[in-house]
Amino acid sequence: MTMGSNAGGRRRPPTIHDVAREAGVSRGTVSRVLNGGHYVSPAAQEAVNDAIRRTGYVVNRHARSLITGRSDSVGFLLTEPQERFFEDPNFNVLLSGCTKALASHDIPLLLMLAGTKDERRRITRYITAGHVDGVLLVSSHSGDPVAEELREAGVPLVACGKPIGLGSKVGYVAADDRDGARDMVRHLLAVGRRRIGMITGPLDTPGGVERLAGYQEVLTEAGVEIDEALVVSGDYSRASGAAGAERLLAQAPDLDAVFVASDLMAQGVLTVLERAGKRVPDDIAVGGFDDSPVATEVSPALTTIRQPWDRISNEMVRVLLAQIGGEDPAAVILPTELVVRDSA
Amino acid sequence: MTMGSNAGGRRRPPTIHDVAREAGVSRGTVSRVLNGGHYVSPAAQEAVNDAIRRTGYVVNRHARSLITGRSDSVGFLLTEPQERFFEDPNFNVLLSGCTKALASHDIPLLLMLAGTKDERRRITRYITAGHVDGVLLVSSHSGDPVAEELREAGVPLVACGKPIGLGSKVGYVAADDRDGARDMVRHLLAVGRRRIGMITGPLDTPGGVERLAGYQEVLTEAGVEIDEALVVSGDYSRASGAAGAERLLAQAPDLDAVFVASDLMAQGVLTVLERAGKRVPDDIAVGGFDDSPVATEVSPALTTIRQPWDRISNEMVRVLLAQIGGEDPAAVILPTELVVRDSA
DNA sequence: TTCTCTACTGTGAACGCTCACAGAGCATGG
DNA sequence: CCATGCTCTGTGAGCGTTCACAGTAGAGAA
C-alpha cells in the first residue's frame, strides 16, 4: 500500500511501462492482457495482473484513444424542448438506465442538451469531430436538424422511440405503444365500459399516433362506434391532461371511461374529475400510460401500461454498442404490460 | 466545401499539421493560435484562422489531453439514493444548468451515478485516475465514502449544498436556507398566523437543519412559544409530506399555518388537507420551499421560497473551474426569494 | 556599431498507448 | 531433417498535440 492517501498535489500515475517492468514482461504483453488477453501465456497473464494490482495502474484513456481513434464514450443527446422531458419522471429513469448500462462497459456518458442554436452547433461539431463513438438520442420530433446532420456524418445513432424523418441508418428502441393501448382499452371494455374517451399524446410523434391507433383498433374490433367527440389531443403534460378532461366532460357528459396517453396527463385528469364531483373509477374509469412514479402517488392509484424503461435503456445501449462495433442499425420493439390498480 | 456529406465510413480528419501547411506556418504557431493567440502576429493569426475554417479542423482532445494531463471534462456525481433526487424536479434543473454552463466553456459533463458498491468503486477509480479534472457533487448525506476518498486524492470538488463531514478542501454552493425559512415564517406571521407548524427536511442534512433553525429563530424573535408538537420531520418526498400533515393535524387541531420544507412535501400536505376538509389558505396557510414546477401545478398555487437553481449551477461550475485552475475552494451562499401565490 | 530586449516563429521531443511486424520456441507432419 | 504452423513475446513506430528551447528579425539604448 504505497499508493493513495497522497492528499494535495497528485503524483504521476503509473504507466504501462511501469507495469511491464514490475511484471518482468514487455509493454506489448501488458497491452495484450489489458485488451482481452489473447495470445498471452497464463504465467504472463498472472504476473501482469499482479503488477497492475501492486502499482494501482489504470489505463490512460487519452493515450489509448489517440491511437485507436475510438473515444470509448458516448453522448446522450436531448434535442426536445427540455422542459417537457425534464418534467417527465420517465426521462430520468431512461437517463439513469443508460448511464448505468454504459458504466458496466466502462463507458462514460456525456450529457448533451441542445437548446439554443449555439448549443446545437457546438454539439454537432463536438460529435462529428469524433469526440464520442456514438449517440443515444431522445428526440421524437420530426425533422430534427441535429440528428439529420449526425446521420449524414455516419455517426452511430440510436433513438428512443421510432424516429420520424430519419432514414434507415439509425437504430431505435421503442415500447410497443399500439399493443399497450390495445391492452388498456380491452381492459376498459372488460370491466364493462362502453363510452370510452381518449386523451392522446402529440400526434406528430409515432408514440402518440400508435396509442391512438391501438385505441381505435380495439373499439372497432369490439363493434363499438368510434365517436370523434370522445377523442381530444394533449402533449403528455399534466396541464394538457386537465384541459383535455374538461373538453371531454363538456363534449361527452355520458363518458364512463377515459384512456389517457400518459400518467402525467392522467394526474391532471384526476384533479379535474375530482373537482367535477365524478368518482373514479365508479363514475369514470381512468387508464394511464407509462407507469411512472406518479401512478402510485395519486389517488386512486392509476391503472396503467408499464413501459419497460429499464429494458429500453439497456437495449438502447446494446444496440448502440453493436452499431459502433460495425453491425447494422437495429430496431427493437419491447412489450408493454398492463398494471391494474384502482382507477380502472 | 470539400468537407461533409460523406455518409458512412468517416474519413481521417484534418490535423494541426494540415492546418499549418494550409496556412504556411508551423505547427507551433497553429497551436499558439488555438491556445489564446499570445505571441502570434496578426497576419499569422488570420492565416491560421482561415486555414482552420477551410479545412474544418477540430482539435483532437485526446492528443491534447495526453500531453497536458488535463482531460477538459468534469464529472457530475450523484451519490444520493437516486430515487429521491430523480423524483425532484430541482435536480433536473441543476443538472441541465451545470451541463449548459460547462458547455459554454466547451467542457463536457460526464454523468456518474453511484448506486451499488460496484459502481462506487468503478467511479472512484475513474475519477482518481484523472479521467476528469474535477467533480460536481450532489450528496448531502454525511460521511459519504466516495466524496471522502476523492477529497483525499486531491480531486477538485464542489458540492451542491453544504457538505457534512468533508473538510475545508471542498468548495460548495448553497442557497441561504436559514434566511429563506425566516422569510417564509415572517410572511406567515405577517398574514396573521400564530399556530405555525413545520414539516422539516431530513435533519441529517445542513439544509434540513438550517430551515428548521430559521423557523425557530423567527418564532422566538416574535415571542411566539415554540411547541414541540408543531414540528414533524420528513424527507422532502411527497409521501412524507402527506404523512407529516396527518401527524400534525392529529397533534395540533388548532393549526392555522404550516411551513413545509419542500414543495413536493407541500403537495402531499395539500392532498391531506383537502381530504380533511380544511380550506387553504382560509383554514390553514401552507408555505413551501424550492419553487419547483409543482408549486404552480397544485391548487391553490404554492407560496414558496425560490431557490436560485440557475445561479447555483452557474456558481458551482465557476467555483469548480477556478479550483481546477489552482484557486482555493470557495464557499458561496446565494440569496433566496419569497414567492407569494395563493396558499399563504 | 554593438548589445540587449522584445515579438515572433520553427523544431524536436515528449505524453502513454496500440499495432504491425519480426522472431523465438515448440510441436506436428512429411 | 527441414518445413510448416501455432503460440507467445519484444520492438519500433506513430497517433496529434503541447511545450521547452533555440533562433531570427527588428527596435531601441549605449
Provide the shortest C-alpha distance from residue A118 to chain B (in Å): 9
- Give CA–CA dist A119/A115, Å, rounded: 6
Please give the CATH superfamily to which domain B16-59 belongs: lambda repressor-like DNA-binding domains (1.10.260.40)
Task: Band the pLDDT of A85: cuts 50, 70, 90.
Answer: low
Residue A305 pLDDT more than 80? yes
What string of H, E and C letters represents the secondary structure of B188-234? Answer: HHHCCCCCEEEEECCCCCHHHHHHHHHHHHHHHHCCCCCCHHHEEEC
Check whether residue A25 has its CB closer than 7 Å to nucleic acid strand D: yes
- The Å distance, CA of A9 to C1' of C12, is 29
Q: Which nucleotide is nearest to A41 (CA to C1')?
A: D8
pLDDT for residue A81:
66
The closest CB to that of A61, out of B113, B131, B297, belongs to B131
Check whether residue A121 has its CB closer than 7 Å to nucleic acid strand D: no
The low-confidence residues of chain B, meaning pLDDT below 50, are 1-9
Class of domain A177-306: alpha beta
- Give CA–CA dist B81/B139, Å, rounded: 9
Residue A193 pLDDT more than 60? yes
Helix ranges restricted to H, chain B: 16-23, 27-34, 42-55, 61-68, 82-87, 89-103, 117-128, 145-152, 177-190, 206-221, 238-251, 263-275, 294-297, 309-324
Instruction: List protein-proximal bases of chain C (any atom < 7 A from a CB).
Output: 7-12, 14-21
- B62 and A60: CB-CB below 8 Å? no
Task: Band the pLDDT of A83: cuts 50, 70, 90.
Answer: low
pLDDT for residue B220:
96
Task: Band the pLDDT of A2: cuts 50, 70, 90.
Answer: very low
Q: How many C-beta atoms lie closer than 10 Å to residue A53's C-beta?
A: 10
* Exposed e or buried b per residue across A283-297, where buried means at least 16 C-beta atoms within 10 angstroms of its C-beta: ebbbbbbbbbbbbbb
Q: Which three cell numbers stand for residue A169?
A: 441508418
Nearest to A265 by CA among A282, A253, A248, A283: A248
Task: Band the pLDDT of A229: cuts 50, 70, 90.
Answer: very high
pLDDT for residue A124:
94
Residue A8 pLDDT more than 50? no
Task: Band the pLDDT of A4: cuts 50, 70, 90.
Answer: very low
Element (H, E) at A238: helix A238-251
Domain ranges of chain B: 16-59, 74-176+310-335, 177-306
Residues from chain A contacting residue B89 (CB–CB below 8 Å): 86-87
Amino acid sitting at position A17 = H
Nearest CA in chain B to A238: B297
**Spatial contact of A82 and A115, defined as CB atoms under 8 Å apart:** yes
What Cα–Cα distance (Å) separates residue B202 from each residue in A127, A296, B141, B233, B234?
Answer: 41, 23, 10, 7, 6
Residue nearest to nucleotide D14 (CA to C1'): A67
Same fold flag, A74-174+310-335 and A177-306: yes
pLDDT for residue A82:
62
Footprint of strand C on the protein (CB under 7 A): A 12-13, 15-17, 27-28, 30-31, 34-35, 57, 59-60, 63-64, 66-68; B 24-29, 32, 39-44, 63, 66-67
Check whether residue A48 has its CB closer than 7 Å to nucleic acid strand D: no
pLDDT for residue B320:
97
- B153 and A4: CB-CB below 8 Å? yes
pLDDT for residue A162:
87
- B110 and A108: CB-CB below 8 Å? yes
Task: Among A296, A297, A317, A328, pick the best mutation site for testing chain B contact (most B Cβ within 10 A).
Answer: A297
Q: Which residue has the higher pLDDT, A293 or A270?
A: A270
Residues from chain A contacting residue B106 (CB–CB below 8 Å): 122
pLDDT for residue B113:
93
Residues from chain A contacting residue B295 (CB–CB below 8 Å): none
- Give CA–CA dist A179/A213, Å, rounded: 9
Nearest CA in chain A to B57: A129
Residue nearest to nucleotide C9 (CA to C1'): B29
Give the mean pLDDT of A114-125.
Answer: 91
**Spatial contact of B59 and B27, defined as CB atoms under 8 Å apart:** no
pLDDT for residue A5:
34
Task: Band the pLDDT of A141: cuts 50, 70, 90.
Answer: low
The closest CB to that of A130, out of B10, B109, B115, belongs to B10
Give the mean pLDDT of A155-183.
Answer: 90
Domain B74-176+310-335 has CATH 3.40.50.300: no
Provide the shortest C-alpha distance from residue B5 to chain A (in Å): 6
pLDDT for residue A143:
65
- B297 and A103: CB-CB below 8 Å? no
Give the mean pLDDT of A308-317.
Answer: 95
CATH topology of domain A74-174+310-335: Rossmann fold (3.40.50)
Q: Which nucleotide is nearest to A48 (CA to C1')?
A: D9
Residue A294 pLDDT more than 90? no
Give the mean pLDDT of A224-246.
Answer: 93
The closest CB to that of A113, out of B96, B126, B169, belongs to B96
Q: Which nucleotide is nearest to B31 (CA to C1')?
A: D18
Nearest to B337 by CA among B174, B217, B179: B179
A197, β-bridge pairs: A258
pLDDT for residue B231:
96
- The Å distance, CA of B41 to C1' of D27, is 16
Residue A114: is it exposed, middle or buried by C-beta count within 10 angstroms (0-12/13-18/19+)?
Answer: buried
Q: Which nucleotide is nearest to B40 (CA to C1')?
A: C8
3-state class percentages of chain A: helix first, strand second, coil last, to nearest 5? 45, 15, 40
Provide the shortest C-alpha distance from residue B215 to chain A (in Å): 29
- A131 and B119: CB-CB below 8 Å? no
pLDDT for residue B1:
33
* Exposed e or buried b per residue across A132-168, where buried means at least 16 C-beta atoms within 10 angstroms of its C-beta: bbbbbbbbbeeebebbebbbbbebbbbbbbbbbebee
- A99 and B111: CB-CB below 8 Å? yes
- A66 and B71: CB-CB below 8 Å? no
Q: Which residue has the higher pLDDT, A134 or B115?
A: A134
pLDDT for residue B305:
97
Nearest to A71 by CA among A134, A122, A149, A125: A134
Nearest 5°: phi and psi at B9? -15, 110
Give the mean pLDDT of A172-195.
Answer: 96
pLDDT for residue A84:
63
- B76 and A122: CB-CB below 8 Å? no
